[in-house]
Amino acid sequence: MLNELKEFWRFRDLLRQMLARELKIRYKNSIFGFLWSIVPPLLQVVVYTFLVRGVFSATAKNYSAYALCGLIPWTFFQTAILDSCQSLLANYGVIRKIYLPREIIPFSYVLSNMIHFVLGWAVYFAVFAVILRFFNMGIPLLPSMLWLPVIIVVESLLVTGLSLWMAALNVFYEDIKFLLATLFNLMFFCLPILYPADVVYYSDVVQRHPWIYKLYLLNPITGIITAFRKTILQPESPGSFVVRLQGKPALPMDWPLFGLTSLISLGIAVAGYGYFNYKKWQFVERP
Amino acid sequence: MELSNNPSSDSRYAIELRHVTKQFRIRHQGSLKRAILGAFKPKRVELFTALQDVSFAIPHGQTVAVVGKNGSGKSTLLALLARIYRANAGEIILQNQEGKRPKIAPLLELGAGFHLDLSGLENIQFYGSLLGMSQKSLDAKIDSIIEFSELKDKVDTPLRNWNDGAKLRLGFSIAVHTDLDILLVDEVLAVGDEAFRNKCSQRISELQDAGKTIVFITHELGSAERIASRIIWLSQGSVRMDGDTASVLEAYRKASRDGTI
């Protein structure tokens, strides 16, 4: 594995070029360009806020800050994996003709999404922690926000590992991308993106079988989204999301569990990279 | 597969193949359904042998043509040298004159890495680094690349609107400007118009004079005769004959006439 990493490093110029190309092409033939990275998530938040406030009558203050805290990591997770899943076949002409460490291709897509991810957080803090505070609508600064870079790194590990893994699999089984698209659609509603994990914790089924909650949080992306939310925002009682739960206390940040999430993410990163290297010489021999 | 600096290798050679065999698996469709169903059936792997126990050594600075009819393994051989495939058995040792890992420029299907929405200049950047050029040497050579390709102001426009000839000229121009030790050419010498073809031949002979090693595949015996000093004749995945241009060509032409090729 060390040799593979060295080889990867030798080609860092190419990685830079691929990344630049990816970022350039993305909005090349569109009129609104970079706005396409900003406007759709904002519209999403408007609709979700209406849905949660108006239809499910939640009373959470500042729901948009709350929802974005889940949407930003989720969007990175989903788009990076789907993008890199397609990447090897999209660049099949190149890998069939020219030698390069093939992990550069999916990794460049992960990196370009990572850049959007970090920019997303920058915009988030500029808007909610700075600008809106002048109008008394923002979020207070908390010392626990300093954990943000650590959680970003953990999510990046997870996403890199899964992306390499799925990219390698998708060369041989193109069902993978359909499978993932379906899974992600379902996960969006099952994971605590629009609502806190606490709501799941207090649900009747989980109260009767607490191990389900443990299992739920063992999914690393659940743990990561929950960690973002619990370090960036003040605790919000689950009652302000689901009326029935009024009076129940918000759960504290579970640090041992986050430690486990980090370990699992690291494990997935190593396993994904290993699997990719194990398969990468067979990509060009695909039938 | 050994990539470089093998202590047992002979540094006189740029390319050394020792008993190289390359087989491909024939799989009839790849889908998850088949894989799951297949898990319950005994595995039956069909193998196709593209190259069988091929050995030869090419000294630094030699120009070698590889001939043979379709399906004889020429393209597989070139792809092995370009490190697209890994051999199933045997060793391939590639090195430059210092015994280090050589820079290999493949001229395989020009412009495989071009993106049609990007301008010529942007594509030079990308394709150049794809062929292993550093940013520094790209910056130094970019004018010369544009000049050689005869594109002038067209380099600022997206490739989408270019004709095929222009794309080929750009691809060739970038490839021959890399800091290469070994040049691999896959039947692309016949690109562009007469004038550009002459320029290509001239550039190839400059590379020969500079002591670069060149391996090229061709069906055109005339160009093999003009450029190469040695010919390797492949037949059904094995070396049928390997020697100086004149004698191999004579045998090859004779076999062609007799239909025993």
B84 and A284 in contact by Cβ < 8 A?
Answer: yes
Q: Which helix (H) or strand (E) holds B25?
A: strand B13-26
- pLDDT at B140 exceeding the cut of 80: yes
Alpha carbon of B261: minimum distance to chain A alpha carbons (Å) = 28
| CA R_g for chain A | 20
For residue B28, the model assigns a pLDDT of 60
**CB < 8 Å to B107, chain A:** none
Tell whether A134 is within 8 A of chain B (Cβ): no
Best residue in A97, A177, A179, A277 for a mutation probing chain B (most B CBs within 10 Å): A97
Alpha-carbon distance of A166 to A263, in angstroms, equals 20
Per-residue pLDDT reduced to its tens digit, B158-182: 999 898 888 888 888 888 888 889 9
Residue A48 tokens read as 């979700």
- Highest mean pLDDT out of A29-33, A225-229, B11-15, B221-225: A225-229
A/B interface, count of CB pairs below 8 Å: 84
Per-residue pLDDT reduced to its tens digit, B78-132: 999 999 999 999 999 999 888 888 888 887 666 677 888 889 999 999 888 888 8
B30 and A99 in contact by Cβ < 8 A?
Answer: no
Tell whether A93 is within 8 A of chain B (Cβ): yes
Best residue in B32, B49, B142, B188 for a mutation probing chain A (most A CBs within 10 Å): B32
Per-residue pLDDT reduced to its tens digit, B17-68: 999 999 988 766 556 666 676 666 666 678 889 999 999 999 999 999 999 9
From the list A112, A230, A222, A219, the residue with the least C-alpha distance to A160 is A112
Alpha carbon of A285: minimum distance to chain B alpha carbons (Å) = 7
Closest CA in chain B for residue A14: B129
B106 and A98 in contact by Cβ < 8 A?
Answer: yes
A97 and B109 in contact by Cβ < 8 A?
Answer: yes
B126 and A98 in contact by Cβ < 8 A?
Answer: no
Concatenated DSSP letters of B226-255 = HH-SEEEEEETTEEEEEEEHHHHHHHHHHH
A17 and B126 in contact by Cβ < 8 A?
Answer: yes
What is the ipTM score, two decimals?
0.81
Residue B80 tokens read as 């092995």
- Residues with Cβ within 8 Å of A263's Cβ and at least 6 positions away in sequence, in order, are none
Per-residue burial over A250-267, b if 16 or more Cβ lie within 10 Å, else e, is ebeebeebbebbbebbbe
A13 and B117 in contact by Cβ < 8 A?
Answer: no
Q: Which helix (H) or strand (E) holds A240?
A: none
Question: Which of B117, B118, B130 minimises the CB distance to A98?
Answer: B130
| Percent of chain B whose pLDDT exceeds 90 | 42
Alpha-carbon distance of A159 to B2, in angstroms, equals 33
Residue A223 tokens read as 């743990």
For residue B134, the model assigns a pLDDT of 85
A99 and B117 in contact by Cβ < 8 A?
Answer: no
Q: Is A122 left (phi over 0), alpha (psi -120 to 50) or beta?
A: alpha
pTM for the whole structure: 0.87
Q: Is residue B5 very low, low, confident or very high in pLDDT (cuts 50, 70, 90)?
A: very low
Mean model confidence pLDDT for chain B: 85
Per-residue burial over A98-137, b if 16 or more Cβ lie within 10 Å, else e, is bbbbbbbbbbbbbbbbbebbbebbebbbebbbeebeeeee
Alpha carbon of B247: minimum distance to chain A alpha carbons (Å) = 32
- pLDDT at B16 exceeding the cut of 70: yes
For residue B3, the model assigns a pLDDT of 46
Tell whether A118 is within 8 A of chain B (Cβ): no
For residue A287, the model assigns a pLDDT of 61
> Per-10-residue mean pLDDT for chain A, 287 residues long?
88 89 82 80 88 83 88 96 94 88 95 93 91 86 93 98 96 92 95 90 88 88 94 86 82 90 97 95 82
For residue A79, the model assigns a pLDDT of 95
Residue A268 or residue B200, greater confidence: A268
B117 and A174 in contact by Cβ < 8 A?
Answer: no
**CB < 8 Å to A176, chain B:** 32
